[in-house]
Every structure is written in C-alpha cells, then in structure tokens.
C-alpha cells in the first residue's frame, strides 16, 4: 500500500507535482488534479486540522475530502471479532478498530483495485514512523519507465507515498507485503487506487498507530464477508462508494457525470501516469535514495533491506 529531504524540496513544488509522486509507489494512490493541502480552518474538524509531528508539518485535510464515510467516528459494531482487533473491509472501504463489545472506531480508507489485495487473518508485527519505500523487481519489470528510475528507493518523509506511519501485516511469521499506512494524497481516501495496500489520512494513521500495539490481530474481509456485514455497495463516477440503497447519492452522481462535472477516470489515470514517469526521472536523477528501503507490494518478492 518521514523526514523531508533535499531530494523532494527541489521536485515537489508546485502542489500538483507533489500529488503526482503519489502514483509512483505500489501502495500509493492515483492523485487527482484537484488534490491540494489546506490550512486549518473552522471548516476542518479538529481531528483533521494541521499539526506538527516529529518536526514535520502535516497539512489539514481539505474539507471536500471529508465525506461522511471518510471521517473517523465511533459506530456500533456487530461482527464476531474480539475487542482490540482491526477489521479492514476493502469493498466498503472502511477500517474498524474494535474498542469495546459492540463498538468500534471507524476510519475511511483508500484501497487497491480488486485482485491485488490480501484477505484473511494477520497480525501487525512491525510498526514504522515515516517509513521509506522502494519498488520491487516485479514492479520494475511490469513498468520500467515508472519504477526503474526509483530502483534505489525513496527516503521517508511527508513526500513519501507511505505517509506518516505504516503498520506491517504478517501471517504465520511471514510478511504478507500488505500495509496499512498514511498517504501523501488525501484526495485518494475513499477511492480505489493502483495497488493493494490500505491507506488512511495521515491524521488517522497517526491516531491508529498510537492506539494499537505490535501483535494486534487484523481481519481483512473477503467479498462475501463484506456483503454480509455491510450490504452491497455501488462505486460512483466520483470514485467513492455508497450503499446500493442510497438512490439519492447514486442519482446525483449520475447527473453530475452526464453534466461533465466529473472527469473521466481513465483519462486522468493516463495523464497521471505520464506525469509520474517524468517525476520519477527527476527523482531518480537526483541521486538520493532511501537508507533502508521498504518494499511492501502484495504478491511480490521481498526487499533485502528493511527499517
């Protein structure tokens, strides 16, 4: 699915360039052209205001991304999992942290496209603040133009696609290469992205990271389990999902699409890929690499180095 360095100071401005870099990592999102950081304001809930973290300034979340399904909130929970468990539903795009019998804290997440994820039980055997990242050999082979220039990795920082924190899922003592982490592109939360990791707003991953210990059990639902617990959902043209019974939201989205108010996602993806290749070439030519690269792409060979 991090201290800023001189590498990024040169290549991550303007804001659009920063967002574009988010498409480079396996756990990164496909940033939207309207993704922009914002200063704290009355329109931003307190938990999503700008904050300082380990000497780094985390921008406030733009309120346009804080749709109801994305916001952190306490909700009733009726699943079979024990208190203290994290439950990820990649289809409904929710993450639950069960805090008491019948109660959980719910977070909105961005997820990888179907077929590149993980399902089942795991444990969090590693936690990392401001993790670094490097592409795997499989990624370089699949898209050499994009990942080849970054073969030596990216150092941790707010300009890193893994964001402010990462939780690493293991099964039977082995790394699943599935991560729960932050993001450099808050516009991606609630949407499907390019690969199989689970990402949260940086404010949310910092919150979750502080609450859960190593060894925390994680349940990632499959489609049948999601349907049983959440009911059917529909992906809108905007990229968000809503209940299949929310006809008001579905109709409004369809009208906006027909009116040309929602950009064609295929065209946006193509444009972002082209921009990302150019960005990768700039980053790769700078010569600065991650000291301890962190792979983390589901279903591929692991890196030899780790934080």
What distance in Å separates the CA atoms of residue 147 and residue 283, rounded to the nearest whole number?
11
**181 included as an active-site residue:** yes
**27 included as an active-site residue:** no
What distance in Å separates the CA atoms of residue 21 and residue 11, rounded to the nearest whole number?
9
Report yes or no: 59 and 53 within 8 Å, Cβ to Cβ.
no
Strand segments, DSSP code E, in 50-102 are: 51-53, 56-58, 73-76, 86-89, 94-100
Diameter of the chain by CA atoms?
A: 53
Which residue out of 27, 32, 197, 273 is catalytically annotated?
197
Q: Residues 141, 147, 151, 154: what is their CA dihedral angle, to the nearest 10 degrees?
A: -150
Strand segments, DSSP code E, in the chain are: 51-53, 56-58, 73-76, 86-89, 94-100, 103-108, 111-112, 120-129, 165-171, 174-181, 192-193, 198-199, 217-220, 233-235, 241-243
What distance in Å separates the CA atoms of residue 302 and residue 58, rounded to the nearest whole number?
30
Which residue out of 27, 32, 181, 273 is catalytically annotated?
181
Per residue in 262-282, is it b (16+ CB within 10 Å) or e — as a string? beeeeebeeebbebbbebbee
Report yes or no: 145 and 152 within 8 Å, Cβ to Cβ.
no
Q: Any idea which residues carry the catalytic annotation?
A: 181, 197
């Amino acid at each position: 699915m991090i201290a800023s360095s001189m590498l990024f100071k040169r290549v991550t401005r303007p804001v659009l360039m920063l967002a574009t870099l988010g498409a480079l990592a396996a756990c990164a999102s496909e940033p939207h052209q309207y993704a922009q950081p914002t200063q704290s304001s009355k329109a931003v809930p307190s938990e999503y205001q700008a904050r300082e973290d380990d000497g780094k300034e985390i921008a406030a979340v733009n309120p346009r991304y804080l749709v109801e399904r994305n916001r952190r909130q306490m909700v009733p929970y009726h699943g079979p999992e024990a208190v203290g468990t994290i439950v990820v539903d990649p289809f409904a795009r929710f993450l639950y942290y069960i805090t008491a019998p019948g109660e959980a804290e719910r977070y909105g997440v961005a997820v990888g496209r179907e077929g590149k994820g993980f399902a089942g039980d795991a444990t969090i055997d590693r936690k990392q603040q401001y993790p670094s990242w490097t592409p795997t050999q499989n990624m370089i082979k699949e898209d050499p133009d994009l990942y080849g220039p970054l073969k030596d990795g990216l150092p941790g920082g707010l300009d890193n696609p893994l964001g402010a924190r990462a939780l690493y899922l293991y099964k039977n003592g082995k790394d699943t290469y599935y991560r729960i982490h932050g993001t450099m592109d808050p516009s991606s939360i609630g949407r499907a992205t390019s690969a199989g990791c689970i990402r949260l707003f940086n404010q949310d991953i910092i919150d979750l990271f502080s609450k859960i210990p190593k060894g925390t059990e994680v349940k990632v639902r499959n489609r049948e389990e999601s349907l049983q617990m959440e009911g059917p959902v529909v992906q809108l043209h905007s990229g968000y999902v809503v209940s299949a019974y929310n006809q008001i939201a579905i109709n409004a989205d369809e009208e906006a699409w027909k009116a040309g108010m929602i950009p064609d996602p295929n065209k946006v993806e193509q444009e972002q890929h082209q921009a990302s290749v150019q960005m990768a070439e700039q980053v790769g030519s700078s010569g600065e690499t991650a000291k301890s690269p962190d792979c983390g792409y589901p279903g591929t060979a692991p890196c030899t180095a780790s934080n």
